[in-house]
């Protein structure tokens, strides 16, 4: 069984390693200092289990998971308070609150072992879909992968988001980036006073809106500052009017 430990504190990793000594079937294949190394290690080793810290340099543990095509089984290790971690319970992904005892650690391992691998990764998927953004508060940035590089897009740089099959296209001044998420995920995690669902397939940054024009009797289009034309649905038009108080 292959395990990867991702934590920015060496001592925090060493306690996990020490506790893992009592599990002879476990092999620690890699240790990572942050999410960047984490993504590489997970893609390279395809571990059966990942111990993951949440607060890390540059990108959080959640953001790192979002960058992976295939979700590994994860046990979170964090010092966040219990209240904040309540969100996890519904998803049965286990989490260890630092500092944790050897007994608690063994229990988490037991829980992981009794879950099938696919069930575990399914849970992480669901966790990322509904609780991660809620847990971190209003998102202020989106992390995407461009080839092998990782790019952090501040929300204010987004022009609009477009549905694209199972993905979304996040359009910025530098071009667009793909991310495997749903439109409704962004509709709920982005600041509602700045982003409006203009159409089933479009979410626009209100700051980037230049004007709204009438096309036919009942249909409108939005023109962004960079010239992009976005169709407006009836409800989308109403939403934007309400947002702009017109």
Q: How far is the CB of 145 from other proteins (least distance, A)?
A: 16
Q: Which of 56, 74, 161, 190 binds other proteins (CB under 8 A)?
A: 56
Of 5-13, 87-95, 179-187, 225-233: span binding other proteins (CB under 8 A): 5-13
**Tokens read off for 117:** 């691998």
Q: Print the binding letters for residues 139-158 with other proteins: x by CB under 8 A, - otherwise.
A: xxx----------x-xxx--
Cβ proximity to other proteins, 47 vs 61, nearer residue: 61
Q: How far is the CB of 107 from other proteins (least distance, A)?
A: 17
Length of the chain: 246
Could you say whether residue 9 binds other proteins (CB under 8 A)?
yes
Could you say whether residue 60 binds other proteins (CB under 8 A)?
yes
Q: Which of 30, 31, 48, 63 binds other proteins (CB under 8 A)?
A: 63
Kindly state the helix (H) or strand (E) to which residue 159 belongs, with its residue range.
Answer: strand 158-164
Cβ proximity to other proteins, 54 vs 93, nearer residue: 54
Distance between CA 204 and CA 127 in Å, rounded? Answer: 26
Closest to 187 (Cα-Cα) out of 173, 168, 174: 168
Could you say whether residue 14 binds other proteins (CB under 8 A)?
yes
Cβ proximity to other proteins, 22 vs 210, nearer residue: 22
Q: How many residues bind other proteins (CB under 8 A)?
A: 35
Asked if residue 219 lies in contact with residue 151, where contact means CB atoms within 8 angstroms, the answer is: no
Distance between CA 94 and CA 74 in Å, rounded? Answer: 8
Cβ proximity to other proteins, 83 vs 227, nearer residue: 83
Q: What angle do CA 133, 36, 105 make, to 5 degrees?
A: 70
Q: Which of 138, 182, 219, 235 binds other proteins (CB under 8 A)?
A: 138
Could you say whether residue 80 binds other proteins (CB under 8 A)?
yes
Q: How far is the CB of 229 from other proteins (least distance, A)?
A: 28
Q: How far is the CB of 101 from other proteins (least distance, A)?
A: 9
Could you say whether residue 26 binds other proteins (CB under 8 A)?
no
Contacts of 112 (CB under 8 A, 6+ apart): 49, 73, 75, 94, 120
- Compute φ and ψ for 71, nearest 5 degrees: -85, 130
Write the DSSP assignment of 23-87 as a string of letters: -TT-EEEEEESSHHHHHHHHHHH--SEEEEESS-SSS-HHHHHHT-SSPPPEEEEE-S-HHHHHH
**Tokens read off for 65:** 């998971």
The site for other proteins (CB under 8 A) is made up of 8-12, 14-15, 18, 33-34, 36, 55-60, 63, 79-81, 97-100, 136-141, 152, 154-156
């Amino acid at each position: 069984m292959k395990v990867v430990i991702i934590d920015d504190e060496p001592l925090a990793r060493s306690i996990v390693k020490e506790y893992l000594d009592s599990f002879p079937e476990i092999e620690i294949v890699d240790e990572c200092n942050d999410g960047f190394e984490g993504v590489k290690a997970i893609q390279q080793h395809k571990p059966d289990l990942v111990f993951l810290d949440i607060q890390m340099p540059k990108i959080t543990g959640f953001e790192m998971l979002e960058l992976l095509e295939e979700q590994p089984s994860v046990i979170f290790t964090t010092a966040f308070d219990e209240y904040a971690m309540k969100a996890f319970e519904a998803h049965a992904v286990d989490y260890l609150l630092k500092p944790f005892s050897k007994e608690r650690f063994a229990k988490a391992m037991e829980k992981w072992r009794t879950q099938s691998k696919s069930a575990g990764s399914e849970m992480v998927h669901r966790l990322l879909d509904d609780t991660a953004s809620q847990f971190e508060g209003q998102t202020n940035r989106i992390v995407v992968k461009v080839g092998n590089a990782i790019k952090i897009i501040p929300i204010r740089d987004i022009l609009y988001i477009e549905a694209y099959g199972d993905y979304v296209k996040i359009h910025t001044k530098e071009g667009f980036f793909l991310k495997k998420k749903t439109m409704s995920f962004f509709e709920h995690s982005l600041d509602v006073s700045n982003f409006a669902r203009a159409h089933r397939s479009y979410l626009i940054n209100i700051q980037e809106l230049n004007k709204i024009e009438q096309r036919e009797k009942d249909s409108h289009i939005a023109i962004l500052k960079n010239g992009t034309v976005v169709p407006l649905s009836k409800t989308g038009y109403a939403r934007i009017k309400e947002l702009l108080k017109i």
